[in-house]
Chains A and B, each alone.
Chain A
Amino acid sequence: MKFDVNHALTWITKANEKIQDNKDYLTSLDQAIGDGDHGINMSRGFKETVAKLSENDYVTVSDVWKDAAMTLMSKVGGASGPLFGTAFLKMSMASKGEEAIDYPIFIKAVEEAVEGVKQRGKATEGEKTMIDVWSPVVKKLQEASDFNAELIRDTAKTAMEATSDLVATKGRAAYLKERSKGHLDPGSVSSYYIFDALADSLEEGA
Chain B
Amino acid sequence: MAQVGIVLVSHSEKVASGIKDILEQAVGEVNVKAAGGMEGEIGTSLEKIQEALQNISTSEGALIFYDLGSAKMNAEAAIEMLELDNVHVVEAPILEGAYLAAVEASIGKSVQEILESIKKEFPEKG
**Which residues of A pack against B, CB within 8 Å?**
41, 70, 73-83, 85-86, 89, 120-121, 171
Contacts and interface: CB of A to CB of B under 8 A. Distances in A.
Given A75-B38, A77-B38, A82 B74 contact: yes
B47 A81 contact: no
Most chain B CB neighbours (cut-off 10 Å) among A73, A76, A86, A121: A73
Interface of B: 11, 38-39, 41-48, 69-70, 73-74, 76-77, 81
A12 B38 CA distance: 22
A77 B73 contact: no
A41 B43 CA distance: 9
B44 A81 contact: yes
Given A74-B38, A79-B69, 8 more contacts: A75-B38, A77-B45, A77-B70, A81-B43, A81-B46, A86-B73, A120-B77, A121-B73
A89 B74 CA distance: 13
B43 A76 contact: yes
A79 B77 CA distance: 12
B77 A89 contact: yes
Q: List the 10 closest pairs (A to B, CB-CB), nearest first.
A: A77-B43, A82-B73, A73-B46, A74-B47, A79-B70, A77-B38, A74-B45, A74-B46, A82-B74, A82-B77
A186 B67 CA distance: 23
A90 B70 CA distance: 18
B77 A77 contact: no
Given A79-B69, A86-B77, A70 B45 contact: no
Nearest to B38: A77
A79 B46 CA distance: 12
Given A81-B70, A82-B70, A75 B77 contact: no
B42 A77 contact: yes
B26 to A, nearest CB: 30
B43 A120 contact: no
B90 to A, nearest CB: 17
Nearest to B47: A74
A22 B42 CA distance: 22
B48 A74 contact: yes
B76 A120 contact: yes
Contacts of A79: 69-70, 73
B114 to A, nearest CB: 24
B43 A82 contact: no
Nearest to B68: A79
Contacts of A80: 70
Nearest to A121: B73
Nearest to B42: A77
Most buried by A among B38, B69, B70: B70
13 contacts: A73-B45, A74-B46, A74-B48, A75-B39, A77-B44, A79-B69, A81-B44, A81-B45, A83-B73, A85-B77, A86-B73, A89-B77, A120-B73
